[in-house]
Amino acid sequence: MPENIAIVSLDDLKVLLAENEIKNEVWDTEQAANYLRLAVSTVKRQAAKGTIPAVKIGDKWKFSSIALYEFVRGNQKQNGGRNDEKNLVSSIGGRSADKC
């Protein structure tokens, strides 16, 4: 009989699996904007406000791929499971990349 049994929520399990599938990489602003499907100017502005998880090193913003994944996932939960570009853009007060 197994000695190590853990009870976890399905959401926690999904995050754990996703974290193992997504490499934890450091992205620049353009990569983050591409992932979030937002304009680079929006990503910079929201990073400066602290809305999007980021760290400023010198004059450049850096983003963790896992932190951005969790940011999008949190946004999805706030929007009743919907994770579309319109909801993400409206939640952070930005413009989509298509509108630039």
CA distance linking residue 27 with residue 19, whole number of Å:
16
What's the predicted TM-score (pTM) here? Answer: 0.63
pLDDT of 83? 47
Tell me, yes or no, whether 6 lies in a domain: no
Tell me, yes or no, whether 92 lies in a domain: yes
pLDDT of 12? 77
pLDDT tens-digit map of 28-69:
999 999 999 999 999 999 999 999 999 999 999 999 998 998
Tell me, yes or no, whether 17 lies in a domain: no
CATH of the domain at 71: 1.10.1660
pLDDT tens-digit map of 87-96:
565 566 655 5
Domain hosting 50: range is: 24-99
Tell me, yes or no, whether 65 lies in a domain: yes
Tell me, yes or no, whether 84 lies in a domain: yes
Domain count, the chain: 1
